[in-house]
Amino acid sequence: MGKYFPYLKLEKIIAGEKEQGKRVVLTGGAFDVTVHPGHIYLFRKCKELGDILVVNVVNDERVRMYKGETRPILGAYERAIYVGELESVDYVTIHPSVKQGPTIDLAILIKPHVIVRSTERPWLDEDRQRLMELMGYVPELINIERTDDISSTEIIEALRKRAGERFAKGTLGANDIDFG
């Protein structure tokens, strides 16, 4: 996968992109199970804000902390593989931070021009303060409104329900599927 780089190597790569005058945009998320239309919209909107789009795929431990013990369904590297296959994504990485805001921790390292979140997690004054203290400046902080009501959690719940219904009807064996 040519778009995946370990986060420590990404610092030098992004510095080179910025030296060429390119505007760097950073976003992040779990992107569990699949990339759905909401993610595609987010990535397209992010790409409109700059020349280079960097996506931080949140590590497994952090996903478990905010989504529960049965998540993620796919490991971080697998999720990074399919995010990296998207045309709008230039670089993808996995930052190891388990603190709230691992994408902010990555931002401190690569110093993007813009950091994007969906409106599900709006920017807080404490985020701005933390960035100012750690980076010496505040990049543009943008919220992109979701255009759909689809989420990976909803997709997983629908799959669990459907598997349960099939199991109850006898069309799915007990060993055929394990959602944890």
Give the model confidence (pLDDT) of 107-123 as tens digits. Answer: 999 999 999 998 777 78
- Determine how many CB atoms are found less than 10 A away from the CB of residue 21: 7
Homologous superfamily of 7-148: HUPs (3.40.50.620)
Using alpha carbons, select from 68, 43, 67, 66 the residue that is nearest to residue 53: 43
Q: What is the pLDDT of residue 38?
A: 83
What pTM did the predictor assign? 0.83
Domain extent listing, the chain: 7-148, 150-180
Q: Give pLDDT, residue 149.
A: 66
Task: Using DSSP, state whether 81 is helix, strand or coil.
Answer: helix
pLDDT of residue 177: 47
- Tokens representing residue 132 in the block: 């100012």
Please write the tens of the pLDDT for every residue from 22-70: 999 999 999 987 788 888 899 999 999 999 999 999 999 999 998 888 8
User: Residue 172: pLDDT band by 50, 70, 90 thresholds?
Assistant: very low
For Cα atoms 95, 79, 8, give the angle at the middle one, nearest 5 degrees.
Answer: 25
Listed residue (116, 144, 117, 139) closest to 128, CA to CA: 139
Distance CA 87, CA 83 (A): 9
The CA distance from 82 to 99, in Å, is 24
Pick the range with the lowest mean pLDDT from 17-21, 66-70, 142-146, 161-165: 161-165
Tokens matching residue 24: 């760097």
